[in-house]
Amino acid sequence: MKLRYSPTSPYVRKVNVVAIETGLQDRIERVPTVTADPASGLAKDNPLGKVPVLITDDGMRFYDSPVICEYLDSLHGRPKLIPSEGMARWTVLRQQALADGVLDAAVLRLLETRRPSTQQSTDWIEKQRGVILRSLDALEAEAKDLNGPATMGQIAIAVALGYVDFRFAGDKWRDRRPTLAGWYETFSQRPSMTATVPRDPS
């Protein structure tokens, strides 16, 4: 399998964490991809022009990250990250949707701050910041239940918190969310998390 990636994409990090947790990382060849470069050929693999894209050995193209993660989870014999049925499944999928929504808001906020200052919308930046903080409040309310073996929901939440730390450390989200902070402190020490910490390319 091949994985199109860019180094700081949190959606790619989610896939990489899943690959490590499921023991599949050595079966994935990494293809660095500059999303803005038409010569990368990305649009042929994903018309949305986004990473991650997983290209299977028989030529299937999978996106976006929830689909890739569920596909990888179907390929291994370890305990599943996504329960196959029942309320446990819907809870994990909802948690992933919430965490991915935090990523979406964080990326929108980051991109806005990178526009020329005269073109930036403070309202837009504040709206996305509000989405992030409100979602982290919701996660704080359910953090006491984030226990037991790793799930796709937990991975997505941890990756989202890691991305907020990476891009918006000034938000100090831990200050009013002690249960979530305590859970993250432990979860972020998993080898899959420490091996995938985002860093700006130097």
Q: How far is the CB of 199 from ligand GSH (least distance, A)?
A: 15
Dist. CA 192–CA 13, nearest whole Å: 10
Q: How far is the CB of 60 from ligand GSH (least distance, A)?
A: 16
Dist. CA 139–CA 96, nearest whole Å: 11
Tell me the number of residues near ligand GSH by CB under 6 A.
Answer: 13
Stretch that binds ligand GSH, among 18-26, 59-67, 154-162, 179-187 (CB under 6 A): 59-67
Can you read off the two tokens belonging to residue 93? 């999928």
Residue 64 near ligand GSH by CB under 6 A:
yes
Q: Is 56 left (phi over 0), alpha (psi -120 to 50) or beta?
A: beta
Distance of CA 116 to the CA centre of its chain: 27
Among 1, 9, 18, 168, binds ligand GSH (CB under 6 A): 9
Can you read off the two tokens belonging to residue 79? 């305990």
Residue 49 near ligand GSH by CB under 6 A:
yes
Q: How far is the CB of 201 from ligand GSH (least distance, A)?
A: 14
Residue 51 near ligand GSH by CB under 6 A:
yes
Whether residue 176 contacts residue 141, with contact meaning beta carbons closer than 8 Å, is answered with: no
Residue 168 near ligand GSH by CB under 6 A:
no
Residue 153 near ligand GSH by CB under 6 A:
no
Residue 35 near ligand GSH by CB under 6 A:
yes
Among 5, 16, 40, 52, binds ligand GSH (CB under 6 A): 52
76's CB contacts (< 8 A; 6+ apart) are: 22, 23, 24
Among 11, 62, 183, 184, binds ligand GSH (CB under 6 A): 11
Give 31-87 as a 3 state SS string. EECCCCCHHHCHHHHCCCCCCCEEECCCCCEECCHHHHHHHHHCCCCCCCCCCCCHH
Site residues (CB under 6 A) for ligand GSH? 6, 9, 11, 35, 49-52, 63-65, 100, 107
